[in-house]
Structure 1
Amino acid sequence: MPELPEVHALAVDLESRLAGRRIDRLDVLAFHALKTFDPPVSAVAGQTVHRVGRHGKWLEIVLGDQQAQLHLVIHLSLAGWIRWRDKAPSGMPSRKSPIAARLVLEDGTGLDITEAGTRKALALHIVRDPAEVPGIAKLGPDALEVDEAGFAEILKSAGRARIKNVLKTQGNIAGIGNAYSDEILHAAKMSPFQPANMEPEDVARLYTVMRQTLLQAMARAEGHSASELKREKKTALRVHGRFGEPCPECGEAIKQVVYSGSSFQYCPVCQNEGKSFSDRGMDRLF
């Protein structure tokens, strides 16, 4: 799933391509993806793209002028992505196509919004105010906008909840998902299971590492086109998705825990005094 650094880079790339250009139409091909009905899809036609931005992991394409704006808000979820199309489309895609929606500009160029796999969770909202999108209305402060005092209060309020879950819950802090929470906790040398309500010096260390990790990832991602961002993210990750590979800090094999259809990776030496966490999937295997 694209997280804050990739969605930021997508917004920068798409704004350079879309800002100031008029839209011919929006074709919604996977109707389960469209979560709103008023304004209708037809309201997008003829609108000029004002800017492209983000709210946490949500991408926002702002249409029209300051007096009468529409917002096309996109959540790419686990398997969604955006592809730039340099040529006018030749006919409509087949029903088996991964294209969920197609934004067509007046010259035929535009965006294909795709979703792979069978788990369909991509979401498109056409709204007059992004706060009308429930997922945006519930967001906590952005991970790069919250100050250390606010961050400390979030952790204190979470009590004994696991820090891994607190970091990736969007209602606490917006923008961090499964991958960057792994990266942040590894860089901070902190257990994913540590209670969120921690000592002030641990809060300060985690806050500093969170910002450094996200800013470095943003710097790497910015300037890449949408087609390059997935590969850039994957190659830059040091722990997440590296199960069985040596830890870049100590050389110990990276371990993982699988749960509820998801997983996280960690270094037992750097993050848990050399001890591995129980993993129900592996435990059953053995």
Structure 2
Amino acid sequence: MGYLQIHAEILWPALLAGLLVLSTHVPLGREVLLRGIIFLDLAIAQTAAFGVMLANTLWVNRHGDHHHFSTTIIAVVAAIAGSVILYTIRKLEVRVQEAFIGILFVLMATGIILILSADPHGGERLKEILAGQILWLQASDLLQLFFVYVVILILWFLSQEKIGEWLFYPFFAVTITLSTQVVGVYLVFASLIIPSFCTLYQKKPLIKSYLIGITGYMTGLIVSASLNLPAGATIVWCLAAIGCLYFLFTGGLIMRKANTNKRKEH
């Protein structure tokens, strides 16, 4: 306990960041699952990461330092561009959509490697954008995220039924871009999919998903601080572990429901 108290100044901003990410990613993740576009978020997160790296590289080469606002704008533009591409193919066969999403993902992933190929610190920067640096966040770093997410949540819950596909994709892209810069690609995907998947066919899914997500983040941060493990990767594993425990506790409702739906189709 003493160890955790000593590191409380590091842990609470990280937990606050996790709560902010979950606040938007749980409802968006459920929407992604219901729409059947599960890997959309991973492709858009990778596109946002590509935009971040491109912006940082161009800005640093020209000005010699980083500029967060310019980086965010370029990353948002890149993510929205990727979402527009995916929006245009939304009516195609599912296998075709999945192929496009896979191609976009691999292009953005390898694009990042090409951008960082001449950077002596490229490996570390790649690790940061994928796994995040959640333990090193300050409360001041989260102010912009807080205000933007408040607007996003208000718009989402007040006009969810009115948000058509043409607006959902860029809406989703902006949210994913901001989160990727804070917690990294892996945590973005895990926060979107794991809590929502575990409560997919249950009543009051949002409340249960939030509880799974919060428990996963809290457990991951404590384990990470106690064992000196990378925070982002640890939280992903803890989210998965909490999700599995919840899945077992609820008796595998998801699998039973999926099997029932499959039998109905036949």
TM-score norm. by structure 2 comes to: 0.33
**Relative contact order higher in (CA < 8 Å, ≥ 6 apart):** 2
Name the structure where strand makes up a greater proportion of residues: 1
Higher-Rg member (1/2)? 1
